[in-house]
Amino acid sequence: MAQFNKVFLIGNLTRDPEVRYTPKGSAVADIGLATNRSWRSESGEEKEDVRLTNLKLQKILYYAQGWYLANFTKPLFKDEIQAWKFGPAIYSIYKAFEKYGSLPITEVVTKNELSEINQKDKKFLDEVWGVYKKYSGTDLMQSTHNEKPWKDTRLDITESANSETVIQIISILEYFKSLKDQT
């Protein structure tokens, strides 16, 4: 008699589950699950708890850079974005939060650090966050793997190979500008 484990996953699906079958015929589901939550406090204030991992942060920074380039034709930040096997990444940011591994980042940004960002850019970053926060790092990684800047940069690199190859800023600009022009 077959034995089964029962597992309850609590969260929001971020995409339709994909079912594959092993060579022996067992079904395996691939799901995207966001563990973010929103609620109202006793005082009626809207609260939100969003898990931000290093993987998710890397992808959100990539999207922020892309949309900033498309809207303002200049980069939001100077760091190069590399085409890592897990999607676009910024080495210095990765190293800063490497200690968390795949766990959520728990460091708090200080007001002093935020004061370096002007109001226009803060508003822009809030908008990018509003769009992408609902996705898991894995979902964002899979999205970037289907996008031209990452695919073109890794053209001659196998998907499982490590790489420090830089995604050219012009490639990111052209791709996000084409997306902007479609809307």
Taking alpha carbons only, the member of 52, 107, 77 closest to residue 169 is: 77
Q: What angle do CA 161, 92, 59 make, to 5 degrees?
A: 65
Q: Strand pairing partners for 63?
A: none
| Residue 58 and residue 90 in contact, taking contact as beta carbons nearer than 8 Å | yes
Q: Name the H helices within 73-156.
A: 91-97, 111-114, 119-132, 137-145, 148-153
Distance CA 38, CA 94 (A): 27
CA count, 13 A, side-chain hemisphere, 182: 6
DSSP type of residue 166: B
Taking alpha carbons only, the member of 91, 11, 12, 19 closest to residue 58 is: 91
What is this structure's pTM? 0.77
Distance CA 143, CA 60 (A): 11
Pairing label, strands 18-21, 27-30? antiparallel
79's CB contacts (< 8 A; 6+ apart) are 90, 91, 92, 93
From first to last of the 183 residues of the chain, give the pLDDT tens digit.
Answer: 556 666 656 566 666 777 888 898 887 777 666 566 666 778 888 777 778 899 999 999 999 999 999 999 999 999 999 999 999 999 999 999 999 898 888 887 776 777 788 999 999 999 999 999 988 899 999 999 999 999 999 999 998 899 999 999 999 999 999 999 997
